[in-house]
Amino acid sequence: MERLQKIGKIIPKSAKEISHSRLGIGFEKLDRDVFDPNKAYDKVARIGLKKVRIQSGWMKTEKEKGVYDFAWLDRIVDALLSRGLEPWMCLCYGNPLYTDLATRVYGAVGCPPVQTEEEMQAWLRYVEATVKHFADRIELFEIWNEPDCAYSWKHYDGEVRDLMQNAYEYGVFARETAKLIRRVSPKSKICAFASVGVGDLAFINRALATGMGDYIDYASYHCYSPFDADRIRTIRNFRDILGLYNPKIGIIQGESGAQSDSRGSGAMAHFSWNRDKQTKLMLRMLLQDLYAGVEFTSYFSTMDMIEALNGRVGDRASYLDYGYFGVISADFDEDGRATGTYSEKKSYYALSALASLFCGDAKAHIFPVAREYLPSVRVNGRDCEDNTVQDYCFRLDNGDTALVYWNATPILTTTYEGTITYSVYGQDNKNVRLVDLSTGDVYAFLEEMLNDQMDGGIRLRNIPITDTPLMVLFGDNTKIG
């Protein structure tokens, strides 16, 4: 960027300043009290997105059979709503009142109530009470979390179940839960799967074969991978198999993130993560989700916090495993609770810039773009010729158009900086700017970088390209400060 002139910065928008957004964030695990939401609400609202994923916490809500205390969850929902945010709720996990395994699992994580009819009926009564209580404040309810993973669809201590059996069980479970929600609150929207193995079409197909697809509005997927080259293809395959059963089902990306510390536990652990790499992967995967046409895409997560996927009651060491997925960092007390001063990371500001640019109904757009390979003073005297370059066109809600691009070199082991040349046609060429999405900084191009191609065409000559997404912005409607 040293050749360009910085002319401003994308002006952040708070949640109350936008009507809607296709970007969201995770606010999960409060049923296990892993962080203090009161120190995070305002920070989330200032990001400028809308959708916030929360978890319902059956165990925390029903501590006495048939008695539901929603006070703790009411406080969370109302605090989010008051700041212009839109909570959506994942209905989960187990309850030791009904399921023996849940008495030994920390937070009853992944203990499905499917072994006996008593368990299932207790679950349905809980779901009915929850939906009735929140239907006037929450539109979207999701059924369970990551049922295609052993830690989230447990049966007996140490037992590894056949995945196809789990798929069938989840399909029946989701079908019956969805039917109940539809009866209790016809206006509510229903989401299922929350599948982390979205590329495993066999699991998806087996669950759908139970008939569950007839009762849901959306299917959600989670996608944790440092390799993003096949992300759009994976989403397309997911959409295609859903379409075999019900083409009306929409798609939500409900939970994907990246670590910011190599000490992290959970998804993508034990890799050389840092805050720059977290920011790169976050931007790359959210932009691909938006381009692929998901209803909305949610980043995991707001906070650094314990993972506790296989914690055991009474064994504190078993759940003091820390995940550094948050756009906000914290210290931790002896029980693993996020404490101290909650501080924004680089990824927080990148997400805010992305949210401000992609507020409203920003979506994929088609306009003619072609790469050229010209002499350049930057990398070995020539523009980037790598076949790993990704580029996507968007129309923003304000009418401006954008070309977003990056070189998708392996995030964990490489960095990249070079130049690239594009010929673009049919766009507003009177005001063309470059946005660094990792910072929100806006730059003016040098005069020699913008070559008139006549009749509405423009050559963007030897412009910067890195492994972090950059945006060429066409139009006068995006204001900068």
* Closest listed residue to residue 418, CA positions, set 372, 381, 460, 370: 381
Quick one: 333 and 375 in the same domain?
no
Q: Count of CB atoms within 10 A of residue 409's CB?
A: 15
Say if 8 falls within a structural domain.
no
DSSP type of residue 212:
G
- Do 404 and 453 fall into the same domain? yes
Instruction: Tell me, yes or no, whether 349 lies in a domain.
Output: yes
Q: Please report, for the domain that includes residue 25, its CATH number.
A: 3.20.20.80
Note the residue count of the chain: 481
For residue 277, give Cα distances in angstroms to 64, 321, 414: 45, 21, 10
Say yes or no: 413 and 325 in one domain. no
Q: Residue 440's domain is classified under what CATH number?
A: 2.60.40
Two structure tokens written together for 237? 């395959």
Do 401 and 458 contact (CB within 8 A), yes or no?
no
**pLDDT tens, position by position, 41-63:** 999 999 999 999 999 999 999 99
In a domain, 6, yes or no: no
Q: In which domain, by residue range, is 373 found?
A: 362-474
Of 299, 329, 357, the last residue of a domain is 357
CA angle 260, 414, 304 (to 5 degrees): 5
Q: Quick one: average pLDDT of 432-448?
A: 97
| C-alpha 224: how far from chain center | 10
pLDDT score for 160: 59
DSSP 367-425: --EEEE--B-SSSTTB----TTEEEEEEE-TTS-EEEEEEE---TTT---EEEEEEEEE
Confidence of residue 468 (pLDDT cuts 50, 70, 90): very high
DSSP for 241-308 reads: HHHHH-TT-EEEEEEE---SSTT--STTTTS---HHHHHHHHHHHHHHHHHHT-S-EEES-SB-EE--
Looking at the fold, whether 336 and 453 belong to one and the same domain comes out as: no
pLDDT score at 156: 64
Q: Are 416 and 338 members of one domain?
A: no
Which residues, at least 6 apart from 47, have a Cβ–Cβ distance to it below 8 Å?
Answer: 12, 15, 25, 327, 348, 351, 352, 355
Q: What is the percentage of the chain residues whose pLDDT exceeds 70?
A: 98
Residue 95: φ, ψ to 5°:
-145, 120
Per-residue tokens: 208: 């759908």
The verdict on 345 and 374 lying in the same domain is no
Q: In this predicted model, what pLDDT tens digit does every residue of 145-188 receive, in sequence order?
A: 999 998 999 976 556 568 899 999 999 999 999 999 999 999 99
Ranking 104-118, 157-171, 442-456, 457-471 by mean pLDDT, the lowest is 157-171
**201 lies in the same domain as 267:** yes
Same domain, 392 and 306: no
Residues 6+ apart with CB under 8 A from 342: 39, 40, 43, 303, 328, 329, 330
Q: How many domains does the chain have?
A: 2
Q: Which residues are CB-contacts of 415 (< 8 A; sequence separation ≥ 6)?
A: 409, 466, 467
Q: How far is CA 27 from CA 163, 259, 419, in A?
A: 28, 16, 38
Domain boundary among 341, 357, 373: 357
Q: What is the pLDDT of residue 159?
A: 61
211-236: per-residue pLDDT in tens?
999 999 999 999 999 998 889 999 99
Assigned domain for 5 exists: no
* Sign of the torsion angle spanned by Cα atoms 225, 29, 18, 239: positive
Examine residue 13 and state whether it is found in any structural domain, yes or no: no
Q: What is the mean pLDDT of the chain?
A: 95
Strand order in the sheet with 450-454: 369-372, 417-425, 457-466, 450-454
Of the residues 357, 382, 403, which one is the last residue of a structural domain? 357
Work out the angle between the directed axes of helices 275-292 and 346-357 (0-180°, nearest 10). Answer: 20
How open is the CA angle 431-435-440, to the nearest 5 degrees?
130
Same domain flag for 58 and 197: yes
pLDDT of residue 158: 55
Whether residues 392 and 464 share a domain: the answer is: yes
Q: Tell me whether residue 14 is in a domain.
A: no
Answer whether residue 221 is part of any domain.
yes
Asked which of 149-158, 315-324, 405-414 is least confident by mean pLDDT, the reply is: 149-158
Percent of the chain with pLDDT over 90: 92
Q: Is a pLDDT exceeding 80 seen at residue 378?
A: no
> pTM for the full model?
0.97
**For residues 53 and 25, is the Cβ–Cβ distance under 8 A?**
yes
CB 14 within 8 A of CB 272: no
Tell me the mean pLDDT in the region 375-401.
93
Q: Are residues 433 and 457 in the same domain?
A: yes
Cβ(188)–Cβ(140) under 8 Å? yes
Q: Of 36, 117, 27, 35, give the one whose Cα is nearest residue 77.
A: 27
Cβ 251 vs Cβ 238: under 8 Å: yes
My answer on whether 408 and 312 are in the same domain is: no
